Each structure stands twice: as structure tokens, then as C-alpha cells.
Amino acid sequence: MRESKMRRFKINKYSPFYSLLQGIWEQKVARVGMYILLAIIIFCLIGVFWTPYNPNSTQFPRDLPPSPKHWLGTDDYGHDVFSQLLVGGFPVIGVGLLTGLIGTLISIFIGISAGLYADTLVDRILSGITQIFLVIPGILIIELIGAYLGAEQIKLGYITILIALSTTGWAWGARVLRSLVLPLRRREYILSSELIGESKLSIVVRQIIPNNLPFIASNFFFTAIYGIAGFTFIYYFGLGSLTQVNWGTLLYWSLGGEAYLRGLWWWYIPPGLMIGLVALSFALINIGIDRVANPRLRVDNKKYKKMLSEIKKRRKEEEVIEWTK
């Protein structure tokens, strides 16, 4: 009894998920990305338990430059910037990752159903919707919605931002997935599963998704980058809710205070840098996944250089032979 339970939790080394993870881990680029992400998450975790000062208190002198007392100085309103930076990370990372997750789920659903039912009415409608979202930038639509909500004094909260970003960020993934599924559904093993009587859902879950796992993983991080960029854009245009401290609100206030014209670099560079680093870590992992999915992108410069030098050596030998003739 116990043994069978143990067996269930054993890692299946041949599962596509495990091999993908292993492949990503082998890519140096992706590993660097994961270390950066891990460091940022630890930084934010520290913020949950400890900050040098209360991030919401405005008791400090204004516009102090960085000093041992205030590591990143204070802002126009007398906040300690470093405390705010510690506290404000998780909303950004969370919105980014969840946008990636929900957006990818939507693109899996729409892309695979469009691909499976290609050339039917379902496919036409789904592909049409995908095209619209592809051509008309999602951030533009969100800004329009935010502007109209602004008339009602409504600012976008985290949940609204998350919904808005994930419902506009799925289109690229859906289109590529559709084109990946199209040749797949004519393959023998899918046809034979259909003939055996396997249901469509089961084919999708057990054959189509595992086969396209590298692309889905890469799409996850791609959408997550979109989520983070969208998050900062929403705050940049002043459409986001300002009740909680996060890196977006920090940027918003520093912009409003014209920090960049007054030399208050410690107010806007740290949050910008942190947002940039989170997105960078996603992008690096994404490059690693690309290399797993497309082996021709893998860098084997040593092999290539060795081949080159061999060719050159051979040429020289040939020249010598020709010359001696």
C-alpha cells in the first residue's frame, strides 16, 4: 500500500515536463535568469518580514540623497524609498506571473481549438478574434477602458489589471499554437488515437500539449513580460490604483514629482531597475527555452571553430600538394 503511494510521487524522468526543465537548466542563459528571479524574490520576501522603516510613514525630511540612514534616500513626500522598494515587489511579480499563466491558458484553449477544428466556422471565428487582438495593441484598449473608468473616479486595482492584461495578451501564443497544431493533427499517432476512440480532450491533454510544451513554456514567459510592461504602463499613465505601495506607484509618484528634472535619481531608478530585472530574468529564461525548443540555436561555437580550423588545415595541405606538383 505504502509502496504504491511512494511510486506515485516518484519523478518520471521520461515525462516531457521533466525533460524540458532539465533542458532549460542546462542552458546557461536560463540559469542566470533563474538566479536573478530568485534573488529578487528573496529581496521581496525580506520586505514581507522586515523593512528599515514603516514604508507608509511620511515623517522623514524630504528629498534626502542616499545615506547610511536612508539607503536609497527619501522622496518628495518623506517616504523612505528603500522600505517602499522592499514592500512593493510582489504585486509586480505576481501580476506578471499570473498574467503569463492566465494568458497562456487562454491561448492554449483558443489556439488548440482553432487548430483542431481548422477550416470550420469555429476556427474562422477564433482566428478572427485572435487577429483583432494581434493587430490592435492590448495596452491601448486597457488605456481606453482606464480613461473611461477615470470619469467615475475608478482606478484599476490589481485584479482588474490582471484581468485586463491576461485577456489582451494571449493572441500571439494562440496564433502560433494554431499553426503548430495544424500539421500535428494529421500525424499517424493522433489519427490512431482518434480511431481507438480516445476523446478529443484526452488527445489534447496527453498528446498535443506535451508535444508543444517548450513553446507553451516560452509563451508563458513572453506573456509574463507583457504583463509586467503593461503593469508599468498602466501606472505610468496614472490609471492604476494608488492605495497600495508597489514599484508602479513609486514610478508614478516620481514622474509626477518630476524627479528626473530635479536630480532625484534614487527615487525613480531603483523601481525602474527592479521592474527591468524581473522582466530581464523572464526574457533570459525565455531565450533558454528557445534554445531547448530549437536545437539549431544552441551555441556550439567550439565545434564550429574546430571544423573551421580543420577546413583551413586541409586547404593548406591541398595547396602544398598542388604546389609540389
Binding site residues, another protein, CB under 8 A: 118-119, 128, 131-132, 135-137, 139-141, 143-152, 225, 228-229, 232-233, 236-239, 251, 255, 259-261, 263, 265, 268-269, 272-273, 275-277, 279-280, 282-284, 287, 290, 296-297, 299-302, 304, 307-308, 311, 315
Q: How far is the CB of 102 from another protein (least distance, A)?
A: 21
Report in angstroms how near the CB of residue 13 gets to another protein at its nearest: 28
Q: How far is the CB of 94 from another protein (least distance, A)?
A: 17
Q: Which three cell numbers stand for residue 17?
A: 515536463
Pick 112 or 142: Cβ nearer another protein: 142
Residue 229 CA to residue 26 CA, distance in Å, equals: 28
Whether residue 235 contacts residue 248, with contact meaning beta carbons closer than 8 Å, is answered with yes
- Radius of gyration over alpha carbons of the chain, in Å? 26
Grid cell 574546430 in the structure block, residue: 306
Residue 95 to residues 92, 161, 225, 246, Cα–Cα distance (Å): 5, 8, 10, 11
For the bound state, the minimum distance from the C-beta of residue 144 to another protein, rounded and expressed in Å, comes to 6
User: 104 vs 232, which CB is nearer to another protein?
Assistant: 232
**CA–CA gap between residue 220 and residue 105 (Å, rounded):** 9
Which CB atom, from 94 or from 238, has the smaller least distance to another protein?
A: 238
The pair phi, psi for residue 243, each rounded to 5°, is -75, -25
Helix (H, G, I), strand (E, B) or coil at 80: strand
Please report how close the Cβ of residue 60 comes to another protein at its closest, in angstroms. Answer: 22
Nearer to another protein, 209 or 283 (CB): 283
What's the gap between Cα 7 and its chain centre? Answer: 34
Q: What whole-number distance in Å separates Cα of residue 113 and Cα of residue 130?
A: 12
Q: Which is nearer to another protein, 121 or 195 (CB)?
A: 121
Smallest distance from the beta carbon of 260 to another protein, in angstroms? 4
Residue 171 CB, shortest distance to another protein, in Å, is 12
Q: Which CB, 23 or 248, lies closer to another protein?
A: 248
Helix, strand, coil shares, percent, the chain, to 5: 75, 0, 25
The three grid cell numbers given for residue 76, joined into one nine-digit string: 518628495
Residue environment code for 299-316, b if the CB has 16+ CB neighbours within 10 A, otherwise e: eeeeeeeeeeeeeeeeee
From the CB of 147, what's the least distance to another protein, in Å?
5
Cα distance between residue 58 and residue 84, in whole Å: 11
Of 53 and 237, CB closest to another protein? 237
Q: How far apart are CA 305 and CA 309, in angstroms?
A: 6
In the bound state with another protein, the residue whose beta carbon lies nearer, of 38 and 299, is: 299
